[in-house]
Every structure is written in C-alpha cells, then in structure tokens.
Amino acid sequence: MGYYSLLTTCAFIHLLVFMPYAYSNYLENKAGQFFSSGHTNNWAVLVSLNKLGFWFNYRHVANTLSVYRSVKRLGIPDSHIVLMLADDMACNYRNPKPATVFSHKNMELNVYGDDVEVDYRGYEVTVENFLRVLTGRLPPSTPRSKRLLSDDRSNILIYLTGHGGNGFLKFQDSEEISNMELADAFEQMWQKRRYNELLFIIDTCQGASMYERFYSPNLMALASSQVGEDSLSHQPDLAIGVHLMDKYTFYLLEFLEEVHPASQANMNDLFKVCPQSQCVSTPGHRTDLFQRNPGSVLITDFFGSVRKVEITKDTINLTSSVKPPIQRSGSSDMTIESLTYVDQLPVAEIIHQKPKQKDWHPPDGFILGLWTLILLVFFQTYGIKHLKHIF
Amino acid sequence: MAAHRCGLSLVCILIFSTPAPAPARDQFQEELVIRPLHSGDIYASFQFRTLWDTDFLQERQKKVSHYRLFPKSLGQVLSKFSVRELHISFTQGFWRTMQWGQPFIPSPPGAELWVWFHHTVSDVDGNWKELTNVLSGIFCASLNFIDMTNTVQPSASFKPLGLGNATDHRFLRYATLPREIVCTENLTPWKKLLPCGSKAGLAVLMKSEKLFHSSFHSQAVHIRPICQDEQCTSKAWELRQTLNVVFDHYTSGQGKKEWSLFKMFSRTLTEACPLASSSKVYVDITDNPELSPATHLLSRAVVLGDRRTYSVYDLTRAETFGQLRSFNLLLRWKGDNMLRPLLHAERYVAGFGLQTGEIHTVIYNNHPYRAFPVLLMDSVPWYLQLYVHTLTVTSKSRDNKPSYIHYQPAKDRHRPHLLEMLIQLPPHSMTEVTVQFERALLKWTEYTPDPNHGFYVGSSVVSALVPSMVAMSTNFTQDQPLFSSFVPVKEESSYFVRVYTEPLLVNLPTPDFSMPYNVICLTCTVVAVGYGSFYNLLTRTFQVDEPSPPLAKRLANFIRRIRGVPLLA
C-alpha cells in the first residue's frame, strides 16, 4: 500500500516536473515549424491574358478574380497583390449584371466583390509591363500599388490564365511571351534576390510547356494541361451567355475555398486538384527546382500571408514626443488682401487677350540641315581662303 | 484623507498641465440630393465636403504632417506637386441634357483631369506627368496614359473655380481619356478617401452592384482653395467628392414612377457619419411628388437658374430614423413638366470613307430673347488632321464670326489640336461649327491591340454664362447646401454652366496586321519547297549504305571471325 502510494506520488512529481518541459518543447516545435519556411512576406501577381473586347473571354477574368478572392481571403492585402486584368468584364455593356463577375452558374458566387483594386487594366497589360513588374525595372514615377516590391524573403505566387500554345502565351492577341523569356525573367528575379520561393500556376492550353525551361532555384510550377492538350472551360451560364470559368481553376477554387489561414493542407493536396477524370486535360507540376519537400510546404505559404509575431520581454524606451508646431496665429495678417474668386467667363478679357509670346526655340533639325548644306556648298565653291575677302 | 487630497491635487495638476486640444480646423459635411427627372428617371447626387484650414503651399510653415479628416494621400500629392486646384472625374455614360436637364456637376464620359499648378512651379510638364502617374495609383485607373499627346493648355476655358488672382494659363493642364472604364476598382479607393469610409453615413448607400447598373455614373474629386468665411479674409482648402448617378428603372421598363432608397441602392440609412458636422438628404419636391416619411423642413434654393423647393432630412437628428432606426425614403411622382435647358450641344462626325471626314458641333440656344456668348473648346488628337481653313461657324444659316479664336495646331505624335472660340449665340437659334479633317495612317506599332474598334476623340467643352430667369444669390454662406455652392456666383443675372458633348469614335485606316505573318509563311514555304528541292537535287550525292545486320547475323559473323572462316553477307 505504501509502496503503491509512493509510486503514484513519484509518477505525479515526475509528470509535474517534466510536463512543463514537454509543453515548452511542444511550443518550440510549433514555433520552429512557424519559422521554418524562411519567408517573411507574401506577394501575388495575378494576370489575366484575355483578348481585349471579346466577351467570350469572360472566363479568364473570372479565373483570375477567383484566385484573387482566395488570396485576399487568406490574408494577403491589396498592397501586396498586383492584379492585371486585360479587359473589363464587370462593367462591360454586355454584362447583364454590372459590377459582378460570377464563377458559378446561377450566379452563386460573385468573385468581383465590392472591394477590388485592379492595378493594371486594359491596354496596360502587355508583355513589357509584365516583365517589368517581375524584374522591378519600372519607371521611377510608377506608383507603389503597381510595383512588386518583394525582397529575398518573399514568397511569390504567380498565376497566369489566358490563351497559349506550345512554348508561348498570348498577351491581348497581339503579343506573345515565350517560355524562355519567362524563365529568364525568373532568373533575373533570382539574381536580384527578389524572391525566396516562387509558385507558378498557369491555366492555359498546353500550359506545361511554359515551365519546361525554368532553371532558377526555388521554383515550383503547376499547369492545367500537358503539351499537346487543351485546357477546357467548365460550364456556361445561360443568362450571361458565356462559359464562366475554366475547369482547372474551377476545381482549384473549390479546393481553396476549404483552406483557411490555419489549415495544414500542403502542396501534395494541390497537385491532386482536378485529376483527368474531372479536368479532361492532365494537370502537371514541376518540383525539381524546389528545395523543400512539397509535402512539407503549406498552401498558406503561398496563398496566405504570414504575420510574424516576435514576443520580446525587453522594454523599449520611446523618445520624447515631438512638439506640435506652433499654431499660426500671426499669419492671418499676411493674407489681409481680399481674396476673390476668379471670373469664370470674362468675355471682355478674353476678347482682348493678346496672343501669348511663343518661347524662342532653337531652329529645328530641318532648318539646321538646310543651312549646313548651304554653308557646305558655299565653302566648297569658294574655298576658305576667300573668306578674308568677305570679312 | 491626506492621500486622497494629494491624489485630487495631483489630478488637478494633471488636468491643468495638459495643453488644451487644438480646436478642430477641419470639418466634414455630407449631403445627398434626389431629383426626379422629367423622363421618369431619378437623379441622385452625393456630395462630401471636407474643409480644412491649412495651407499646403505655405513655405514658412512646417510641412503638414497631421491629417485628420483630409485624406493623407491627397494632401501629400498637393504639397509635393504644388497643386493649386485639382479636378478629376470618372464617368460612365453620357449626360443627356435634353431629357435630364443640367447636372449639378458636369463631367464628360471617361476620365477627365484638369489641374492648376501654383505659380512657383518651374517645370509644369514634369509635375503634370508625375501627378498623373501618382493619381493612377491612387484611383486604380490608367491615368498614366495621359501624356503630351493628349494634354492641352486651354487659353481661356477652365478658369480656376477657387480663390486666386493671377490666372496665367501656363500653369493649367487639361486632359481627357474618353476610353477610360469606370468600375468597382475605381469606386473602392474613392470610398476609402472619405473620413467614415463606406461604413457610416451616406456612403453606406454606395453599393457597386446598384451604382453601376444605371445609365449614368460619375464620381469626381475636386480640390480647391475657398473662402473660409463670408468676409473672405483667409483661405481654406476644400475637398469635394461627388458622385452623380441616374437610375433608369422606369425607362428600362422595370418599374413605375415610384422609388425608394432601398429600391435604388438596396440599402437604407441607419446613421449619419459621426465625423460629419452636417449630414442631410434633400429631395426635390418642386413638381409635387408624394413623399414619405414627411418632413417639415423645407429649403428653397436657386440652382442652375431655377428656383426649386427641397425637402430636407437631417440625419444628425435621431428622430429622422424613426423607431426602426432606419431611414428609407419613398417617392412617387406624377408631374412631368421640365424647364427646357437653355444651352445644349451635340457633336458628330460626317463624311464617308476612311480618308476624310468632317466634325460638326451643334450648339443650341433655347433662350427666347437673350443672346449670350459661349466658349467652345475642342481638343482633337493629332491623327485627325484638321484643316482649319475649312472652319465655318454658322448661326441661323448666316456666318457668325467668333470674337476670339485661339488655335494651336497639332504636332504629329507630340501635341493634339486645340481650338478655342468665343461665339455669340443669337437667341433661339442653332449654331453649327464644322471643320474638315483627314485621317492619318499610324505606324503599325502605334495601333492599339483592337484597332478596329476605332479611336476616341474627347468631348468638346462649351462653357457659358447663361442668363438666368431667376436672380441668383451671390452671398456665400456656410450653411448653404453643397449642391448650390459649387460654382462661385459673381453676378445675379447669370449662372455659369459647362456642357460636354459626346465623344467621337472614328475609324482610322488600319493595315492588315496578319500581313507580316502571311508573308513570312509564304516566303518560307516557297524557299523551302522550291529552292530547297532544287538545291538538294543539284548538290546531293548518293552513297550506298549497308543496313546494319540483325543481331543473330552479327553474332554469327563474330564467331566466324574468330574461327577464321569467311563472313556471311
């Protein structure tokens, strides 16, 4: 009896001593897992490559917007998303329900939403702008919302959808980008340390040809169809009159709708999205350039946003507050002259307006050329030595 | 006890030692005006005004850093580019003046931006280019397409709407993008500029699914310096965000001539914006519609030369919302008499073929006995080469010589045409301005990806001081409703109005873009098939080539070689 009670107390003490240790170990493991992916921020570049002015390309915009919606829902803010839509479908005059883009028939899900910010639209979606966004070589006056300001700790998700072929993608039906150019752009990004890991998803015909030529590290790619196969569209809506989504992105959206910011779904689940029985085309993926095992990569590493929280026990001393500027009480006497509104249509003034003096510009190229010719002929005929007779 | 007294004195010391908070120098007002239109449609105009007593351009004062109601993104833009006035509007649809009357704030289809820079700016063009890029990021619009090929510098139109003395037109820039689409992505950042966002106040009604399902939608931002008070001794900055929308449920056959706020916007109002000093809804009851809930507050205002009566609902008072805490307005109306607009303009392209054409601008003066001058400003892109010697202005089939003409010819790929004329319109007449043009052939890289759609020419602007039947008030009071205080009124007998014509869509001669591809295919085929086979025939040599023997034979030959016996064939 005494031995039995001794044993239980011993076990109890043992448990008490080691439980906090086990618990902190568990916490450390959790924390370690939290920081193991090595990225500190997430970016997304979502591009829709449809042809301008063609209503049946509604599905490309719906594809991109459904990925945009998932990415926003999982935490990436608008400032970290570069959304490029080549055509406006929501406010198109053919849209029976303006300001909406639906992904499911019977208008179940409006992926356009009420809070969308499109960064590049219409004619701005060109190969040049796309490559400039990726490589960061934008003109200095480009606003921040149009830039991909990623660093070497950013995980970037790139999603492209549109029309494509074996080894190329069509931009607005007037330009193409080849898989070699894309691979080179990613290599530039790697050299400039613009990404930590990059996930490339493409939903076009023969999409797998686009990732065949990648050669930079830390790239993972998914495509909706293999070389020689077409990606097919999913279902039409009779009211809108066009196909609403492509099959691959439709099932991708359904998969992503079940992912929440804390979910543990990993890339292997993403590779299983839309098998051939559902998609008719065979989705492909490429992971040989990726360093981590896809099974250990969480979906939220690319589709969601990381919020790093570091708990510190040190105290931080804030500097003394900035003194507010002295209220300008004495400046009112400066504006003592009476301020008036300008006359909107001063007829008399306009009639007597003198034409403004044009600024003097140096002579144009043609005039200069003409004078050079005249001078040349002159000097050729008369020679330099005769100049002294003239001057 | 001693400790208590000590604590109390400490509290007292604390109260007296903290500086009194500075009085709020900015205020925010919001209002919604609902006006049933003659054609059965209903016109709703939102105006949000932030007045701030500060000076962005003051050199002596330290840079403004504390923003309360005024949005910081716009404030930083104003101070960085030394902007004196900024007017930007995004419009979808065209305002039908003949059916709807005059709008409170006119705007052309597409995007329009005009800016007055401060006179201290040395490089106006550089500032303009950077400003358009920054605004394109703020409003998610393609304003970066505004460059020297579609910017003009009007010489007499677009005088500043705010305070100012010198009006040197070198500091004015004007540009339109008629093709610009307006959709939710433009409304979202626009709503974020409001102090209450879209969460409280009148902005709650702005749901994109209803706003864009309309025949006219226009959102604009106007920033200008105005008088702070009636004596006008100091300046204040005014930011007006306006949203005009015309719902066409009646004309599109979806309903009768009755509306409610819920039917229009699919929302009702639940509270005023807590940051607003005034939040009102005005309903135009001059034509005696039935209105519920009834209100006793009435306001009479002379706006656009017409005296109109408005019912006022004050949302800052709790009783407006009733017991249900929600305010839904019901309006049913029968009357259909409308004051015919006195000034109205149209524009169209005449001619046939893809080489020449003629632009006709028709301006109507519907006043029975008064003539008044109008300023017509036309900005035509360089690829429509105008022949100014064919410019004719006729009124009542007689030549009408403008008293002022300013013409700046276009420079290919650099500058558009600018034509400004001051024309006196005779009473009750139609004035037609025609000019012939020739269509240019662009370089093949200059075509847009969809060239067969056509190329847009921006709207003409007709600015006029129209004589008013009713005396306008020239007093400027703070509690004047916002919709009647946008344009400063200098004299009682006329009001300023700006009418925009339709934009034009012209087809330019387009080349066959598939030609290079066809040529390459044909040439390569001819070279490969024709020349290639010829070359092969001439240069190919034939060699006898033994096929490699099958495996059994090879093995047999190997054994035979070892044995020293002759090999198999």
| Predicted local distance difference test score (pLDDT) of residue A341 | 81
Stated pTM of the model: 0.83
> Would you call A163 a catalytic residue per the annotation?
yes
Is the per-residue pLDDT at B212 higher than 60? yes
pLDDT score at A182:
94
Of B234, B449, B496, the CB nearest to A123: B449
Which residues does A239 contact at the CB level (< 8 Å), separation at least 6?
A: A96, A97, A107
Tell me if A332 and B233 make a contact (CB, 8 A cut-off). yes
Between the ranges A2-11, B32-41, B137-146, where is the mean pLDDT highest?
A: B137-146
- The boundaries of every CATH 2.60.40.740 domain in chain B are 343-506
Catalytic residue among A39, A80, A104, A163: A163
B chain contacts of residue A162, beta-carbon cutoff 8 Å: none
The ipTM assigned to this model is 0.83
State the pLDDT at residue B302.
80
User: A90 and chain B: CB distance < 8 Å anywhere?
Assistant: yes
Q: What angle do CA A67, A69, A75 make, to 5 degrees?
A: 105
Asked whether the predicted pLDDT for residue B397 surpasses 60, the reply is yes
pLDDT single digits (tens) B260-296: 888 889 888 888 899 999 999 999 888 777 887 877 7
What residues of A are in contact with residue B409 (Cβ under 8 Å)?
Answer: none
Instruction: List, for residues A38-55, the tens digit of each pLDDT value.
Output: 788 899 999 998 877 788
Mean pLDDT over B133-157 rounds to: 93
The lowest-confidence range among A103-112, A240-249, A257-266, B29-38 is A103-112
Among B289, B433, B290, B309, smallest CA distance to B359 is for B433
Contact B206, B191 (CB under 8 A): yes
Q: Could you give the CA distance from residue A89 to residue A83 in angstroms, rounded to a whole number?
A: 14
Among B182, B232, B404, select the one facing A350 at the smallest CB separation: B404
Catalytic residue among A39, A205, A234, A274: A205
CA distance B502 to chain A (A): 18
User: Phi-psi region for residue A340, left (φ > 0), alpha (ψ -120 to 50) or beta?
Assistant: beta
Partner A contacted by B490 (CB < 8 A): yes
Element (H, E) at B298: strand B298-303
Grade residue B28 by pLDDT with cuts at 50, 70 and 90.
Answer: very high
Q: Is the pLDDT of residue A59 over 50?
A: yes
What is d(CA B96, CA B43) in angstroms, rounded to the nearest whole number? Answer: 12
Mean pLDDT over all residues of chain B?
87
Q: How confident is the model at residue B522 (pLDDT cuts 50, 70, 90)?
A: very high
Q: Do A141 and B129 count as a contact with CB atoms less than 8 A apart?
A: yes
Question: Quick one: average pLDDT of B156-172?
Answer: 87
Inter-residue contact A79 to A148 (CB < 8 Å): no
Place B476 in a pLDDT band, splitting at 50, 70 and 90: low
Helices then strands (H, E): number in chain B?
A: 10, 26
Q: Which of residues 385-424 of B touch A (CB under 8 A)?
A: 403-404, 406, 422
**Chain A residues whose beta carbon lies within 8 Å of the beta carbon of residue B490:** 341, 343-344
Task: For residues A371-381, give the mean pLDDT.
Answer: 89
Per-residue model confidence (pLDDT) at position B477: 66
pLDDT of the residue at A172: 85
Yes or no, beta carbons of B487 and A338 under 8 Å apart: no
Averaged pLDDT, B202-214: 91
Give B-chain residues touching A328 at CB under 8 angstroms: 61
Asked if residue A234 lies in contact with residue A224, where contact means CB atoms within 8 angstroms, the answer is no
Q: Do A341 and B144 touch (CB under 8 A)?
A: no
| 3-class SS of residue B156 | coil
Q: Is B124 on the interface with A (CB under 8 A)?
A: no
CA-nearest residue to A92 within chain B is: B181
**For the purposes of burial, counting CB atoms within 10 Å of the CB of B357, is it exposed (0-12), middle (13-18) or buried (19 or more)?**
buried
- Show the domains of chain A with their CATH numbers: 41-303 (3.40.50.1460)
Residue A333 has pLDDT above 50, yes or no: no
| pLDDT at site A335 | 47
pLDDT reading at B6 higher than 50: no
Residue A205 catalytic? Answer: yes
Q: Does A52 touch chain B (CB under 8 A)?
A: yes
State the architecture of B343-506 in CATH terms.
Sandwich (2.60)
* Residue B184 to residue A121, Cβ atoms within 8 A: no
